[in-house]
Structure 1
Amino acid sequence: MPQQVEWSTHSFDMADSSSRFVQRIVSDIPDVQLNGDESYRLQVSAESVVLEATTETGLFRGQQTIKQLVYEKNGKRYLKGCTIVDWPAFAIRGFMQDVGRNFQSMEMLKEQIDVMAAYKLNIFHFHVTENPGWRLESKIYPQLNSAESMTRQKGKFYTQEDFNELVEYCRERKITLIPEFDIPGHSAAFRKAMGFEAMNDPRVQPVLIDLLDELCSLAPAEVMPYIHLGTDEVWHSNEEPSPTLLPALLERVTQHHGRELIVWRPGQKIEGDSVSITQLWSSGGQPKPGYRYIDCRLNYLNHLDPLSGIAQLYFERINGAAHGDSLRLGGILCCWNDNNVNDEYDILKQNPVYPGILTYSETSWTGQKRDIGENYLAKLPEKGSELLNEFSAFEDRMIQHRDKYFAGKPFPYVKQTKMEWKVLGPMANGGNVDAAFPVEDELQETYLVDTVIYNWRGPFYGGTIHLSHFFGYPSYFPKEEGTYYACTQIWSPKEQTVGTWIGFHDWSRSGGRRGGPFPQNGEWHNTHPKVWLNGELLAAPKWNQPGLASNTEEIPFADENYFFRRPHSIHLKKGWNEVLLKIPVKKDTWKRMFTFVPVQEDNGTMREVEGLKFSAEIK
């Protein structure tokens, strides 16, 4: 949403509009509070469209808003009448792809950059080196791009011409490309190609200086002002750098080439560093006092479920503030698909990339005005609250964009704020996940089991419910093992067969199949959950890869999570339908969560099933 907007009942007819469409550079836009170089003012009336900005970038941002205001009526195209004064809350609003682990074609990268541009993101973080491959061509050290040095997509890399094309493609869309050479950790391909046993080899430093010189020769500082050098996750002795390596690279980037240096935090300390920008990752990433920083702590798409993850991105307060300042630069949304993939496009199918970009584009542009802490990073606000109403309105906007602009693209999100659940448990089972409790026989308000009284809690809202969150955000239940039950009622206006997203304890696309081995056929999950609809047990899917061990990073995901496998078919009767889920949780269950969402497929896009109503009332 724009920062300041007044809607008008008068629309602009776009038929013969050339003479009445004005865009111009002005010296100032009153009321703009921050980041004026990207601000704009737009006035749409029945008579004219006037777009003003202080820079070409501002005009470009306003043009994206104009595209979103177009609608059709009776075969004619109109612009919604409005007066908008708009500016971004944060100077850095970015998206990162890891092409070191999994190479992505230029076509696929451009598709994502086009979406970024349409939603006013301004940074493309290009993580171009990793353990599986050094993906940017070096003419000085061509062995870096040899198939023999790589472990995935062997021999796949970007030529320097590709890189220049990508930098220019971003620049034309008012996006700055930040290249990252991730060293001294994540350097297996580099060491293998160069024949170095360890990163403290004295030959490493001159080679990396050569590579930085070569990188900086590809684009001038005014076009590519940032260089990222990683420095994170140095966990092995052969990754430890010599004492002079990082200070020398810092000097080369900042003094010799006149660029800004970015490093991850947590990461290696650089002696004498007083100028770098720190990019925060993980809960342990805290800003260095007095240093500029970029926030990436809560937004790794490879860990996020599309439903609860979108809510997390919406309620995250980037930099812990309503807007940026001289130190709080903004944030970058990250896609770390650590695991190998069968097809490059699986990265977009198996991670909520496009709904994530839309969500992050809004929150990084407008900022989260209130300090709500971590209260809603793993659960939705209470029904009737202002926060839930705001999120529901955001959902409506995102769904409109999904239907209008993302046909044929993976966009795993449907409206979920009307779904509600009650949850009971955890019931003690002595470690026996197959133990049955009276809940399975009949739904009632209270149960007495082994002298313990159990009552339903809720209602809880959403299509995905976190019982307790894997990163410790406030959720509904303490981290205890036992058996939970969840129930809801779905009202259908007619008897019908619909698709359904059903999932338990989802797997991250990171670190193998984190959370334990994959289930055998006949099971929904390795914890043995069950699903009943109107008292009938639903059979689990037949998996493509049943029984895989948890540490299988090189075997690509196929159908493990609900949002990238075919929806489960269920039959709803006319009127109310009872859904009961059994959700055993073991001590080592990492993602303690469940999903049950009716969906309908429309030319590859998942949409809401029309006419359904939801109630958590025990009937």
Structure 2
Amino acid sequence: INPDEAYRLRITPDSILIEATTEKGIYWARQTLAQIVESSDGNSVPALEITDWPAFRIRGFMHDVGRSYISVDEIKKHIRLLSKFKINVFHWHLTENQGWRLESNVFPQLNDPVHYERHHAQYYTVAQAHEIAEYCRQHNMLLIPEIDMPGHSAAFVRAIGHDMQSPEGMKVLKRLMEEICTEVFPDAPWIHIGTDEVQFTNPSFVPEMVAHVRGLGKKVISWNPGWAYRSGEIDATQLWSYRGKAQPGIPAIDSRFHYINHFDAFGDIVALYNSRIADAEKGSDDIAGGIVAVWNDRLLPNDEQIVLQNNFYPSMLAFAERTWCGGGSEYFDKNGTILPTDENDAVFNGFVDFEKRMLWHKKHTFTDEPFAYVKQTNVKWRITDAFPNDGDLLKSFPPETGIDDTYEYNGIGYGSHN
């Protein structure tokens, strides 16, 4: 499985040997070796032999910069830090109703401040796009730029004056995709074209755009649900809703339940760590892997708050381990965001082990970075049944004066559980 990323690392008393069939494998071996050195006593490293490879070939993160601009330096930092944990895809969601975040020299009106609803005229220049693409290459990371079409395109309509599905809009969009594919991202093998959350008024739009982008030498990804493809009509789909299903003959990227913009720092991470990717033990021709998405529906004041309030780094470490190792105990359909209460449970102990290693990285790898996680597996919660406040927030109930197994309120019994 995934031999292009496999490696063998051998440490003996007098040498360190790395073996791999590609530069990708060499890069991942170096990341493993760096972690071994960083976690050693500073004087020696253990003799060992590791043969390793990923369970899934797509292990990524997505930033929605269309809604909220994120600085180039911040994006590069995420690429650099996450590549240490073998995350290998950066999905760059560049366009939204709120703004067109990519410079166009052919249609400069797209970047006019009047056509933005958020972060006016904050966009990435062609030179900055080249810089990030090169930075991804240096860190063994595949860049997938996304130009969402024909939905989520209000910024395009404001600037161009035509709906994307109209003949005039399609003409502009095709020329724009030529610029993006040949001048902005000439070396990117994939382009994501969106197609989600939109009413299709032109049945020719999606087939024509897929053919056009393919004709420019790119493979095409589309959201699912979105346009209804058959095998051969698209190169990969990205599942974003529980309604999205993997299809035979079309590689699927799982982002169902992988949105972390819930502002739940201690819930999402448990589900991400314990849940299988696409409900599969390991990848296959049809199951490529997964991508964690940060959707900036809520406007936050700066880059730091986007990282902090979305619990970005802890969630990505959980996802990095699951996508590399495979397996998992469920698919968001059993305990979900809740850890088992039995301390002898294998699922509980697996998360305890992960938490210990994650907190080590919080201290050593993510020093001074916004990392919204503290140890929680030692915390015991006791949850009471719901008491009826009848809309009166000033009412007081028995647990406020003392903790017990059972309570009585207005002649009715209420229980509690661990």
TM above 0.5: yes
Partner residue of 2:289 out of 297, 307, 330: 330
Map 1:220-239 onto structure 2 (within 5 A). Answer: 223-234=187-198
Confirm or deny that 1:59 pairs with 2:19.
no
Alpha carbons 1:71, 1:78 under 8 Å: kept: no
The secondary structure found in structure 2 opposite 1:329 is: strand
Per the alignment, do residues 273 and 53 of structure 1 end up closer, same or farther by CA in structure 2, a change over 3 Å counting? Answer: closer
Is residue 2:113 matched to residue 1:147?
A: yes
Q: Distance in 2 between matches of 1:168 and 1:365?
A: 24
Determine which structure has greater relative contact order: mean sequence separation of CA pairs < 8 Å that are 6+ residues apart, divided by chain length.
2
Closer, same or farther in 2 for the Cα pair 1:444/1:376, shift >3 Å? closer
CA 1:425/1:109 → structure 2, altered by over 3 Å: closer, same or farther? same
C-alpha change, 1:182 and 1:60, in structure 2 (3 Å) is same
Q: Does 1:37 align with 2:4?
A: yes
Choose which of 411, 416, 428 in structure 1 pairs with 2:371. 411
Instruction: Give the AA of the match of 1:122.
Output: N
Aligned residue identity for 1:217: T
Q: Which residue does 2:360 correspond to in 1?
A: 400
Do the aligned partners of 2:126 and 2:184 also contact (CA within 8 Å) in 1? no
Q: 1:211 aligns with which of 171, 176, 181?
A: 176
Q: Deviation per CA, 1:275-317, whole angstroms, max 9, x where unpaired?
A: 3311011222222344221000111111151211111110121
Distance 1:184 1:424, change over 3 A: same
Distance 1:272 1:367 in 2: 26
Aligned counterparts of 2:360 and 2:277: Cα–Cα separation in 1: 25
On the 8 A contact 1:71/1:79 being kept in 2, the answer is no
Residue 263 (structure 1) shift: 0.7
The offset of 1:387, in angstroms, is 1.0
Distance 1:73 1:215 in 2: 46
Cα separation, partners in 2 of 1:271 and 1:44, compared to 1, 3 Å? closer
Alignment root-mean-square deviation, CA: 2.0
**Secondary structure of 2:382's aligned partner:** strand
1:164/1:218 contact within 8 Å kept = no
* Change over 3 Å in CA distance of 1:373–1:358 after alignment to 2: closer
Cα distance in structure 2, aligned partners of 1:304 and 1:283: 20
Alignment check: 8 A CA contact 1:266 1:280 kept: yes
Q: Normalization by structure 1: what TM-score?
A: 0.65
In structure 1, distance between residues paired with 2:349 and 2:229 = 46
**Any unmatched runs of 5+ in structure 2?**
none
Give 1:201 deviation, angstroms. 2.4
The letter for the 2-side match of 1:182 is: D
**For 1:559-598, what aligned pairs fall within 5 Å after superposition?**
none
- Counterparts of 1:440 and 1:338 in 2: how far apart (Å)? 36
Cα distance in structure 2, aligned partners of 1:271 and 1:203 = 28
Aligned residue number for residue 69 of structure 1: 36
2:253 alignment counterpart: 294
Structure with max Cα Rg: 1
- The structure 1 segments of at least 4 consecutive aligned residues displaced by more than 6 Å after TM superposition are none
- What's the CA shift for 1:220? 7.3
Q: Relative to total residues, which structure has the larger helix share, 1 or 2? A: 2
Letter paired with 2:361: H
Instruction: Give distance in 2, aligned partners of 1:41 and 1:315.
Output: 27
Q: Paired residues, what number?
A: 417
Q: Which has the higher strand share?
A: 1
Q: Distance in 2 between matches of 1:77 and 1:182?
A: 52
Deviation at 1:439, TM superposition (A): 2.8
Q: 2:310 aligns with which of 339, 345, 351?
A: 351
1:278 aligns with 2:244: no
Alignment check: 8 A CA contact 2:231 2:249 kept: no
Q: CA deviation at 1:414?
A: 1.2
